[in-house]
Structure 1
């Protein structure tokens, strides 16, 4: 599920950049706004699954601390994209918007670090990869 918001939000930045350089920015500005909405919907769905994983992590463990940081960063990213969306809608979603772009850019930068932590959870700590018994089979 995480690929939906990541892909949508990065694509929205590409649409923003294109909107700044073409003669008719409207379709790209509108596209960026729509992609932000798609990313927000995807983020809610990903968060539901993430909370299921989070609830399985034991308190006080490095995995739980990493997951808590990952979750807080993701909530920050969602807040930034909500702000970007509101800025765009208030200014007119059919025009290029520098403030909306900057807020989205910050959101994607925070998302990058959060993604690193998500990768650490999956590939270092094995969260949501496989049950311990299944993982142990690979080392026997």
Structure 2
């Protein structure tokens, strides 16, 4: 069976720009995002501004990005933080509904107000960490992330207005605004799931790869040029080698961030940088030296026997 060719206005459309057929929610959500090119006019200057603020990996300001992304945690920070505003605003909605049905219960009102302000605090942290993750995206993921941010921003403004109205005693109007914000949050959360699980933003791209438990010969030692990043295949797993004097180091060649080929990157002072988004990894042990990657690269034990370089995978991704 030959797959149908998708065409728009007589021009073949890349599969990357074609919405999934099912389920219908994903299909129409992707079509909605594709119909919003104006989002690019927001995302392009925002990305430029963000990159100018964070600077380059050698800049001190880049450490802020490393922190927000989650290099220190070994896991993206954003998914953990988003639970705070979503959970708090869900609780606020429940307390608001209880207040509406309990004849002005002051305890319910105070609880709702506390949750509303807690959610606003959590939203600030979620926005900062989300921006740090999003700044290195492009294409459809960039646009989806921008819509995600616009919806979250709108919900936050509505909830801030709701919180202020509560202080002035206009509680029923405040609840109406908060309820509208919650509807935006539900769809925005769905888009966040699309980015994380469908597009793989923030996922470990090297996790599916295997590697041998026993030493496997990959190349002749004499053919390995000192100081040159060299790609080899180890039972189907791409690995990058680097010889520094008498030492040979080997780490997975697939960047854990978005799958870039590390062997095509640059090497300086013991660190290899991905050619796609400049994630830095220490060649000696695969540790993340700078974001956007947060997951370390798998490493390999190296030995030379009978003039052959042999590798054995050491740890889980």
Please indicate, yes or no, whether the TM-score normalized by the shorter chain is above 0.5: yes
User: SS state of the match for residue 100, structure 1?
Assistant: helix
Q: What does 1:104-119 align with in structure 2 at a 5 Å threshold?
A: 104-119=178-193
2:95 — aligned with what?
A: 15
Which of residues 56, 71, 82 in structure 2 aligns to 1:2?
82
| TM-score, normalised by the number of residues in structure 2 | 0.40
Shift of 1:22: 2.0
Question: Are 1:35 and 2:115 matched, yes or no?
Answer: yes
TM-score (normalised: structure 1): 0.88
Change (3 A) 1:78 1:106: same
Change (3 A) 1:119 1:103: same
Aligned to 1:123: 197
Q: SS of the residue aligned with 2:168?
A: helix
More helix by share: 1
Q: What's the CA shift for 1:24? A: 5.5
Write 1 or 2 for the structure with the bigger share of strand: 2
What is the CA distance between 1:129 and its match in structure 2? 1.9
The aligned counterpart of 2:261 is none
**1:87–1:24 CA distance, 2 compared to 1 (3 A):** closer
Measured in 1, the distance between the counterparts of 2:164 and 2:103 equals 24
Q: Give the Cα separation in 1 of the matches to 2:155 and 2:104.
A: 29
Residues 25-64 of structure 1: CA deviation (Å, up to 9, x unaligned): 1011011011000000001011111011011213xx1110
Give CA-to-partner distance per residue, 1:56-114, whole Å, 9 cap, x none: 213xx11101001001111001001001001111117xxxx211111110000000010
- Tell me which of the two structures has the higher relative contact order, counting C-alpha pairs closer than 8 angstroms and 6 or more residues apart: 1
Aligned-CA RMSD value? 1.6
Counterpart for residue 89 of structure 1 = 167
Runs of 4 or more, structure 1, over 3 Å off, are: none
Equivalent-residue separation in structure 2 for 1:136 and 1:57 (angstroms): 21
Residue number in structure 1 paired with 2:3: none
How many equivalent pairs are there? 131
Unaligned runs of 5+ in 1: none
Larger-Rg structure: 2
